[in-house]
Amino acid sequence: MDLSYGEELEGYRDEVAKFLNASWPLKGDEAKLGWEEQAVRFRERAIEGGFLCRNIPKQYGGSEQEPDVLKAQIIREEFGKAHAPMEPRGIGTMMLVPTLLERGSEWQKEKFVPATIRGDLAWCQGYSEPGSGSDLASLKTRGELVNGEWVINGQKIWTSGAQSADYMFILVRTEPEAPKHAGISYLLVDMKQPGIDVRPLRQMTGGADFCEVFLTDVKTPEDWIVGKRGEGWLVSRTTLKHERNSIGSTQQTRALFSGLVQLAKERNIDGKPAIQNADIRQRLAALEGYVKAHQYAGYRTLTKDAKGESPGTITMMNKIISTNIGHDIARLAIDLLGEDGLLDAGGSGMAAMMSGGHERWISHYMYSLGIAVAGGTANIQRNVIGERGLGLPRDAAAERSSK
């Protein structure tokens, strides 16, 4: 057991640091450019240096490096320290690009991958529908091939960034006669066309991080399909071997917990700092047990990934673990806030949660129930843990649905 990265990797860290030292922030005239433009220029150089877009072939604009989760982690750490831009955030880089690389046609890769990883193209995802939540495969949005074009009608929901996206990757039902999962296709759609109506979906916090998208006779060329007709379900499940960020969520959880401890120092109970209250101390220390367990589980997963070994059931549990911790942190925070819990969350979205004020804890209190974790999702995850993780038999209902 060795929590350092070892000599060779520390050498690599030096290399990354040296590159960053030379390259970010930009210098001279370039330093006067806007941040976005600076980021684009910097990313080009970082890709050239092999630091970004490591799993993407050079022909599509990537740096095509050997997968190495430890190097990837070191890059994240050093880029984070230097506040240097990583790959463009968002669902295009995270979900569409890997899918295209695995399942897209040659022209699709050429047209979309380089522009997306440069940050020139923004994407949104059209999966969920109002009637299709945890049972995604029951989606109803229709796509019909008419005169060499797909014509799409329906409604999508929980679409993040739909207002500003250039394109959407969307699941639509193209084979209405086929069984549930087999009737779905995966299309790419230009968002800048008539028939697309994007409406922000306001959350209980007051902000709007998601949209509803109404599609009325929306058109896309016949060959803007990824995979074959009726293969959309499989295509949407494509995941490339990639450099999983095993400890990202544990770092977020730790940061949230630190904020909570800080809050307990600032708030009073009975005229004394809350952190001196025996009950609050117990609750904080009990929570820290979960936070630390999550942290070291992340280290172990990182190590297993680096060795190419399976980390086991823990990878199915991470989401529910961080959800549980988030719930507990939120509950304790609202207790610490006391009367300030009467105040509005600030009418804003996730941004408020990231801010420094106490109202961020009200936002967090509500976000701990957010759509990513709400409702069926947690129960579906418990099904997965029970069935795939522990080997328990499948539900009758789920069996029926998978037919």
Residue numbers at the binding site for a second copy (CB under 8 A): 277-279, 282, 396-397
The residue among 3 and 278 lying less far from a second copy, judged by its C-beta, is 278
Closest distance of CB 335 from a second copy, Å: 11
Take residue 9 and report the two structure tokens written for it.
């990797």
Closest distance of CB 390 from other proteins, Å: 5
- What, of other proteins, a second copy, none, does residue 26 touch, CB below 5 to 8 Å by kind? none
80 counts as binding other proteins under rule CB under 8 A = no
Closest distance of CB 136 from a second copy, Å: 22
- What, of a second copy, other proteins, none, does residue 190 touch, CB below 5 to 8 Å by kind? none
348 counts as binding other proteins under rule CB under 8 A = no
81 counts as binding other proteins under rule CB under 8 A = no
What are the angstrom distances between the C-alpha of 361 and each of 101, 208, 209, 370?
Answer: 40, 17, 17, 14
Closest distance of CB 371 from other proteins, Å: 4
216 counts as binding other proteins under rule CB under 8 A = no
Stretch that binds other proteins, among 15-23, 47-55, 183-191, 301-309 (CB under 8 A): 301-309
Torsion of CA 365, 369, 372, 377, to 10 degrees: 150
What are the angstrom distances between the C-alpha of 308 and each of 11, 151, 247, 338?
Answer: 22, 44, 16, 48
- What, of other proteins, a second copy, none, does residue 299 touch, CB below 5 to 8 Å by kind? other proteins
Closest distance of CB 239 from other proteins, Å: 22
d(CA 294, CA 300): 10
Give SS3 for 311.
Answer: coil
Among 46, 47, 70, 187, binds other proteins (CB under 8 A): 70
The residue among 1 and 278 lying less far from a second copy, judged by its C-beta, is 278
Marked catalytic residue, from 243, 266, 339, 387: 243
- What, of other proteins, a second copy, none, does residue 375 touch, CB below 5 to 8 Å by kind? other proteins
Instruction: Bin 235: left if φ > 0, else alpha if -120 < ψ < 50, else beta.
Output: alpha
Give SS3 for 208.
Answer: coil
17 counts as binding other proteins under rule CB under 8 A = no
Closest distance of CB 378 from other proteins, Å: 7
Please indicate whether residue 243 is annotated as part of the active site.
yes
Q: Which of 258, 267, 266 is nearest to 338 (CA)?
A: 267
Give ∠ CA 289-295-301 in degrees, rounded to 5: 135
The residue among 270 and 339 lying less far from a second copy, judged by its C-beta, is 270
d(CA 201, CA 159): 9
Closest distance of CB 64 from other proteins, Å: 24
Phi then psi dihedrals of residue 60, to 5 deg: -105, 20
The residue among 26 and 314 lying less far from other proteins, judged by its C-beta, is 314
d(CA 99, CA 362): 37
Among 22, 178, 255, 293, binds other proteins (CB under 8 A): 293
Give SS3 for 305.
Answer: helix
Which residues within the stretch 155-214 sit at the binding site for other proteins (CB under 8 A)? Answer: 157-158, 201-204, 206
Q: Which of 64, 55, 105, 395 is nearest to 245 (CA)?
A: 55
- Using only C-alpha atoms, what is the Rg of the chain? 23
The residue among 192 and 400 lying less far from a second copy, judged by its C-beta, is 400
Quick note: the x/- pattern for other proteins over 362-381, rule CB under 8 A, is: x---x--xxx--xxxxxx--
308 counts as binding other proteins under rule CB under 8 A = no
| Cis omega (within 30 of 0) for bond into 200 | no
Q: Which of 224, 197, 230 is nearest to 211 (CA)?
A: 197
- HSE (CB half, 13 Å, CA atoms) of 131? 7
239 counts as binding other proteins under rule CB under 8 A = no
d(CA 213, CA 117): 24
- Annotated catalytic residues are 243
